[in-house]
A and B are shown apart, each in its own frame.
Chain A
């Protein structure tokens, strides 16, 4: 009977299309309960599936169709579909408010809904829902976006306790992390044990593994796009959690009901309170804390304008007695203005301020030293989306950033063993123009083609050095303020195609070029707060990556199970490594310490997910290789990059027992990353020294770990919800290798041995979460 109805309607539409008069339905999709805009909601016209769009990052959608009556269905994971019958005889604004679903335990057959992973035009893109992030156990009981995405295929952890990650063989600085469009330079607290993102304040997390939309650029390997909640514009809500290590509080509510709202979310650790209990005077004077605050306010002026102001302030403070202290933090502030020019043209203008700095102070008898280093960005962005007709969505716009780098200001006292030193500040302009079109060629074929033109200029005032092969300065060029010392222009094509084989399967292919003009200099592979960012210059060329990927995607008929298999191949140019014994700290001529080369990375990513039911979760497997060939290293031949790990497996399972209990667990396994180990030993001045042959010719032992967590909903009424979460990190306490040290055997000086150090064994935690 449904088939007959379908047929009849199609017949009438075919007749009606001869009339050729088209109109546009547009509006914003929101959560009916809180007023939060919904990004990527699926809006289709049942009568013609090809007339379907996804709402944009601000929840805006626009569909153009010939004059007729339609059934519009709006859907979004976790929400009940909204169905509207409408008669399209002129352009109309149709705001859509979706009601959140209560636990989806049964199969729900949704008419005409396709799963996003099949239809999305960009391969290598993954979304993690906040529900999933809240349920995946992470160390210290903290919900952590950065740790959870490391459970997806193609994304690898930079080590125990680190928030750094590697995407498709890229290095830790090749990931663009945006929080409400502001760049976050150091996304970790406390040397990497926690990330800077408080999941209470976050609405959406999307990761693009290399193929990013043309409006983004500046890093080679990935884009992690994080959007903050706008804030409930109907009711005041307070939620939070109290844990062993840290606590959080979230307050949101309307400024004017249904028109504007605000949200403030704050979090702080109190590990330092435990330190104060110590009798040791060095320990009880020590400091160990971090805090962060996410704040946002938005207001709707009339139907066509909405203004947002959001900010993030985070600080870490570590201090040992009064001898040593390090403080670092990110500050970002974004002012955005959404303007709906017409039912087809949407604009977003953003002004963004971002600052990352660290401050080290050392007090040691007469050796007093303080170090300050920072990077400051000011950005202007204009993004326009033109929903042209029913087959094309055009994105175009520009962005311009001014960077100021303060690599280091070293202040010393008169009795200090060190001279004061101020490294020269650096300034750069980083701009781009882009144009992209999502073209629905037919019901089954979609193209996404874009071009990004980036222009980078290193400007004065300053001295710019040239070096010879031995690192000696051969030339010093001086440029005055605003004069361009070096500029780079790069064209970055972005092409992708999706071909739908059936309603539940598709194949995709893509090619994209990315360019990176900011480089992180770090002596280690993971990231440290004291790593230095430098701009491209007359010595350092922009890094370039070309990535080809293709994949097959398939869901089961009811979209209950999702599968994908993706293959990628990436070529990297102008990759940076360091000379032997490179001096990266407090070095005005740090560019003389760098060596350059190429890289390549390729792999297979398999992913299977169960979307709904009592048991949900996913399995991911990555088989990959990433290599480098750098002048002067390993006799100029290819060697595996430090972050190369052949196999990576992650399994996540979340199970709901009735209404009160949820248990979840994850299991990870990976083969070891590439390391340089000795192949012999000798003696110098009476001490054993190890002899190295090739670079990264060995592998660390493999790593595996299981984490478990159980959440009990202790109280749930209309006004108050409370729950307890118990979790244990590394449930079977495996001593996973953190680093390996080679040394003389202390019990037998005639022999040498390898000693493995592990960081964490069992780490239990308890958190109480509340909401009212």
Chain B
């Protein structure tokens, strides 16, 4: 609902009325440099493993998008009665081999790298199944994916949606959204995924993946989405680093979530 009421949606809908809209142009901004910060992302889910944790670093804005991977870290994931020490298969990519993702279990991540330690806890929620994937016809024959599912009543549920077109994620962070049942508890949900849907065309295959995530991961991904909208000026919120569920001063997040998905071929 907050997404629907966001003023930027209103403004963009009515900008088409303004006959003399200005344009957009790339500008040169002098941004400060910063020291490389550790970024940890990891996910364990209810599908069979192995599961991956990646460790990388931040770079300066003007650098190439080659985010350096951090090797030689000590990484463990403990849960479901097992403590698994992850093996580094590629630089910065650490993979499990014994731990299993099970609904309702608590998983603890421990990372020791470059003399510092980082920990995180995530609880895998019970799975909510995606019933079906339908479509909403928008302006100019645009298609939006719609996720249909029943929200369990009397439980706080948080959902993450990821779209894949022909097996690939959408570029520029599109196709990612989150949803909380704060205002929808117990309802049958038809959630329209509003994203630049110009990629959903006839002849393509759309896969919609729905993850059930815990509250801390929802907060992280929600704030991440808000800063991905970009924008700075009087009409937008002041951006800040998303609140991570990793303690110790790292960026990124660790999530124990369930996964369900539906695939549809668009005729």
Binding site for B on A (CB under 8 A): 158-159, 162, 164, 191, 271, 274-275, 282-283, 288, 318, 320, 324, 326, 360, 362, 364-367, 369, 371, 410, 415-419, 421, 523-526, 528, 530, 580-581, 583, 585-586, 642-643, 673, 675-693, 695-698, 700-701, 735-744, 749-763
CB contacts under 8 Å to A, within B189-246, are 189-192, 219, 222-224, 226-228, 230-243
Decide yes or no whether B155 CB sits under 8 A from chain A: no
Decide yes or no whether B154 CB sits under 8 A from chain A: no
Closest 4 CB pairs of A and B: A758-B22, A739-B233, A741-B230, A687-B173
B208 to chain A, nearest CB (A): 16
B233 to chain A, nearest CB (A): 3
Chain A residues within an 8 Å CB radius of B156 = none
The CA of A755 and the CA of B29, in the complex, are separated in Å by 10
The CA of A698 and the CA of B253, in the complex, are separated in Å by 27
The CA of A631 and the CA of B11, in the complex, are separated in Å by 32
Given known pairs A524-B237, A759-B21, the reply for A752 and B33 (CB within 8 Å) is no
Does A697 contact B67, Cβ atoms closer than 8 Å?
no
- Number of B residues, CB within 8 Å of A: 82
Contact of B22 among A523, A690, A738, A753 (CB under 8 A): A738
Given known pairs A682-B251, A739-B233, A751-B64, the reply for A365 and B173 (CB within 8 Å) is no
The CA of A344 and the CA of B102, in the complex, are separated in Å by 85
B3 to chain A: closest residue by CB? A585
Count A-B contacts at CB 8 Å.
252
B 27-41 binary contact with A (CB < 8 Å = 1; else 0) = 111011110010101
Does B241 contact A419, Cβ atoms closer than 8 Å?
no
B116 to chain A, nearest CB (A): 17
Binding site for A on B (CB under 8 A): 1-2, 4-5, 7, 10-11, 13-14, 16-18, 20-29, 31-34, 37, 39, 41, 56-61, 64-67, 136, 139, 146, 169, 171-173, 176, 182-192, 219, 222-224, 226-228, 230-243, 251-253
Does A740 contact B184, Cβ atoms closer than 8 Å?
no
Does B183 contact A419, Cβ atoms closer than 8 Å?
yes
Chain A residues within an 8 Å CB radius of B60 = 679-681
Chain B residues within an 8 Å CB radius of A693 = 32, 34
Does B239 contact A676, Cβ atoms closer than 8 Å?
yes
Does A691 contact B37, Cβ atoms closer than 8 Å?
yes
The CA of A762 and the CA of B20, in the complex, are separated in Å by 7
A288 to chain B: closest residue by CB? B17
Does B24 contact A755, Cβ atoms closer than 8 Å?
yes
B202 to chain A, nearest CB (A): 21
Does A680 contact B239, Cβ atoms closer than 8 Å?
no
Chain A residues within an 8 Å CB radius of B237 = 523-524
A396 to chain B, nearest CB (A): 40
Does A419 contact B21, Cβ atoms closer than 8 Å?
no
Does B65 contact A525, Cβ atoms closer than 8 Å?
no
Does B233 contact A365, Cβ atoms closer than 8 Å?
no
Chain B residues within an 8 Å CB radius of A415 = 188, 190
Chain B residues within an 8 Å CB radius of A696 = 238
Does A581 contact B4, Cβ atoms closer than 8 Å?
no
Does A738 contact B67, Cβ atoms closer than 8 Å?
no
B176 to chain A, nearest CB (A): 8
Could you list some 26 contacts between A and B, CB below 8 A?
A: A158-B234, A275-B17, A288-B14, A369-B1, A418-B1, A419-B186, A421-B183, A585-B2, A585-B5, A586-B183, A675-B233, A678-B61, A679-B33, A680-B59, A681-B60, A683-B65, A686-B169, A688-B65, A697-B32, A738-B235, A740-B27, A740-B230, A751-B64, A754-B27, A756-B26, A758-B24
A675 to chain B: closest residue by CB? B232
Given known pairs A583-B2, A682-B39, the reply for A526 and B10 (CB within 8 Å) is no
Does A750 contact B65, Cβ atoms closer than 8 Å?
yes
The CA of A416 and the CA of B146, in the complex, are separated in Å by 13
Given known pairs A191-B10, A689-B227, A760-B18, the reply for A743 and B172 (CB within 8 Å) is yes
B7 to chain A: closest residue by CB? A528
